[in-house]
């Protein structure tokens, strides 16, 4: 009997706390309405992955799955990957892939659906890609919604689902794929931390303060959402993860009364990936994006985590 299954997992944005989260500070993430889809079918013809560029990472995922769960039936598979999430641009494409492939194998093998395990395996797959990720990206892609996330230790990670206001006008601007990958950006912050521990720890603590203020905003306190975005961006700039070109883009938004920050690992050499942008009057942003010819699109936040299609 030919089994065919399809699952999807969302990409993400980070409202506050990227990089600091790698060192145990909290972060707030949201799942977005851009997803990766994985179709899995039994073939009898070995492993066929489409597009073929995905083969290596699927093979790695199979190895991790076998090692973690001791299953050996992942051999004759046709796997089709399609995605709405730009690769390597801070929108959590690799984590969404890791979660989706992990969930696809669970379903394919008729294992009871277990989000905790799906997430744990996805984290192992992520580590193969990025060295020392926090696990936040795979956790938001697994559970969806808005999460307050914290990596306490390698084995203990805590998260809380946040009930929040509706964000009607959050835009993402693709500033372009960074030359550096997430692992390299994590390393550049680690190097900065070992050169100037006091300075960088102070940035982390200030980022944590911004994250807490976002939480207070979520629970209805009169805090200026836009100013929190700007404060977060400045701290990321001081951490050295935003390129000069992206800073100019962000300044243009600020000059028009808007607010913007990078979201995710960033990039310093040329591009910094996705930029989250907000304006009380969305038309101002729409006009600016048109003039500047930015690749800008609206996103829905708080979307569902991994699911069967």
Q: Which residues are catalytic?
A: 137
Distances (CA, A) of 251 to 61, 202, 231, 280, 288: 41, 24, 13, 16, 12
Cβ contact 28:16 at 8 Å: yes
Nearer to ligand MEV among residue 79 and residue 301 (C-beta): 301
Work out how close the CB of 21 gets to ligand MEV at its nearest, in angstroms, rounded to a whole number.
Answer: 5
The single residue among 5, 13, 21, 277 that binds ligand MEV, judged by CB under 6 A, is 21
Rg over CA atoms, the chain:
19
Contact positions with ligand MEV (CB under 6 A) in 127-156: 133-134, 136-137
Q: Nearest approach, Cβ of 283 to ligand MEV (angstroms)? A: 30
Residue from 125, 162, 253, 265 in contact with ligand MEV (CB under 6 A)? 265
Q: Which CB sits closer to ligand MEV, 21 or 193?
A: 21
Q: Are 137 and 12 in contact (CB under 8 A)?
A: yes
Q: Using an 8 Å Cβ cutoff, are 242 and 270 in contact?
A: no
User: Which residues are CB-contacts of 276 (< 8 A; sequence separation ≥ 6)?
Assistant: 13, 15, 170, 171, 172, 229, 260, 261, 262, 263
By beta-carbon proximity to ligand MEV, the closer residue of 99 and 186 is 186
CA dist., res. 307 & res. 187, Å (int): 33
Q: How far is the CB of 106 from ligand MEV (least distance, A)?
A: 23
**Out of 182, 211, 230, 268, which residue is the one contacting ligand MEV (CB under 6 A)?**
182
Residue 185 CB, nearest approach to ligand MEV (Å): 6
Residues between 63 and 102 with contacts to ligand MEV, criterion CB under 6 A? 90
Q: How many residues bind ligand MEV (CB under 6 A)?
A: 13
In whole angstroms, how close is the CB of 133 to ligand MEV at the nearest point?
3
The correct pick among 11, 19, 271, 277 for binding ligand MEV (CB under 6 A) is 19
Number of H helices, E strands in the chain: 9, 11
If binding is defined by CB under 6 A, does position 22 make contact with ligand MEV? yes
Kindly provide the b/e burial profile for residues 130-151, where b requires at least 16 CB atoms within 10 angstroms of the residue's own CB. beebbbbbbbbbbbbbbbbbbb
Interface positions with ligand MEV (CB under 6 A): 18-19, 21-22, 90, 133-134, 136-137, 182, 186, 264-265
């Amino acid at each position: 009997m030919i089994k065919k299954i399809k699952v999807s997992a969302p990409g993400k944005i980070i409202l506050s706390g990227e990089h600091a989260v790698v060192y145990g500070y909290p972060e707030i993430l949201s799942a977005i309405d851009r997803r990766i889809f994985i179709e899995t079918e039994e073939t009898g013809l070995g492993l066929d992955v489409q597009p073929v560029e995905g083969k290596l990472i699927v093979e790695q995922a199979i190895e991790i799955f076998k090692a973690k769960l001791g299953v050996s039936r992942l051999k004759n598979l046709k796997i089709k990957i399609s995605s709405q999430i730009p690769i390597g641009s801070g929108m959590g494409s690799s984590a969404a892939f890791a979660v989706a492939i992990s969930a696809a194998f669970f379903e394919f093998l008729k294992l009871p659906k277990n989000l905790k395990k799906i997430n744990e395996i996805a984290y192992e797959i992520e580590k193969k890609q990025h060295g020392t990720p926090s696990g936040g990206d795979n956790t938001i892609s697994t559970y969806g919604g808005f999460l307050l996330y914290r990596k306490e230790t390698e084995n203990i990670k805590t998260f809380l689902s946040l009930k929040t206001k509706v964000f009607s006008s959050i835009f993402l601007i693709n500033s372009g794929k960074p030359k550096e990958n997430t692992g390299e950006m994590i390393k550049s912050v680690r190097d900065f931390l070992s050169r100037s521990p006091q300075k960088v720890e102070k940035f982390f603590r200030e980022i944590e303060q911004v994250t807490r203020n976002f939480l207070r905003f979520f629970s209805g306190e009169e805090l200026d959402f836009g100013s929190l975005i700007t404060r977060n961006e400045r701290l990321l700039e001081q951490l050295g993860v935003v390129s000069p070109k992206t800073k100019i883009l962000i300044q243009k938004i600020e000059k028009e009364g808007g607010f913007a920050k990078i979201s995710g690992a960033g990039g310093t050499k040329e591009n910094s990936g996705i930029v989250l942008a907000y304006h009380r009057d969305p038309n101002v942003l729409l006009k600016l994006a048109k003039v500047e010819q930015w690749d800008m699109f609206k996103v829905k936040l708080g979307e569902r985590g991994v699911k069967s299609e």
